[in-house]
Amino acid sequence: MKELKISLFNEKKTLEVGNNISKYLFGGLLIFLKGELGSGKTTLTRGLIKGLGYKGSVKSPTYSLLEQYKFRKLNINHFDLYRFNTADEWITSGFQEYLNNVDVNIIEWSEMANEILPIPDLEIKFSYVNDGRVINIKSFTEKGYKCLIKLS
Ligand SMILES: Nc1ncnc2c1ncn2[C@@H]1O[C@H](COP(=O)(O)OP(=O)(O)O)[C@@H](O)[C@H]1O
Ligand SMILES: [Mg+2]
């Protein structure tokens, strides 16, 4: 399967799915999170980071643009490009250097640097449905596919 749809009835479920994804990560994974403001991108990432055992608070990188979490086997780099004016800022901020084979890079608002960013392994699109949310997860690479089939 290359695409997976999951209903997120409430915030708890968003956190749960993030936690689930955290079990199937491996170094070098690039994940784009797309969807309107407030659709749950940061919440899912919070579940994922907590799932890896992080005890502190997981802040939205809206202002800092990047929050980094270090674990024994990998780092999570959590970006939010909402405040970018141009795609070039991805380069001038030095962010390109974070894309390697060891770290997991999660990018909210990847749309803001579309023309510069490489193809992701996974793309997660968030939509509002009634009071909850729904996500559509797509894989674009072999690595992404391996992660996606474990989730389904
Ligand atoms: N599945 C869900 N159903 C209803 N509310 C949710 C769900 N997931 C997250 N939320 C709530 O939506 C709000 C915005 O979430 P956030 O993760 O900050 O969005 P984004 O990062 O996409 O802007 C938060 O108050 C969160 O509690
Ligand atoms: Mg956010």
pLDDT in tens, 79-96: 999 999 999 999 999 999
Say if ligand 1 is within 6 A of residue 132 CB: yes
Domains of the chain, start order: 3-151 (3.40.50.300)
The tokens of 7 are what? 């209903």
87-108 average pLDDT score: 97
Tokens 């674009």 found at: 140
* Total length of the chain: 152
Q: Using one digit for the tens of pLDDT, what is the confidence trace for 13-23?
A: 999 999 999 99
Q: What is the pLDDT of residue 1?
A: 58
Q: What is the pLDDT of residue 85?
A: 97
Q: Report how far residue 150's alpha carbon sits from residue 152's, in angstroms, rounded to the nearest whole number.
A: 6
Q: Using one digit for the tens of pLDDT, what is the confidence trace for 42-58?
A: 999 999 999 999 999 99
Ligand that lies nearest to the alpha carbon of residue 16, given by its number in the listed order: 1
Q: Report how far residue 147's alpha carbon sits from residue 142's, in angstroms, rounded to the nearest whole number.
A: 9
47 Cα: distance to centroid of ligand 2 (angstroms): 13
Say if ligand 1 is within 6 A of residue 8 CB: yes
Say if ligand 1 is within 6 A of residue 38 CB: yes
Residues 6+ apart with CB under 8 A from 20: 51, 151
104 Cα: distance to centroid of ligand 1 (angstroms): 22
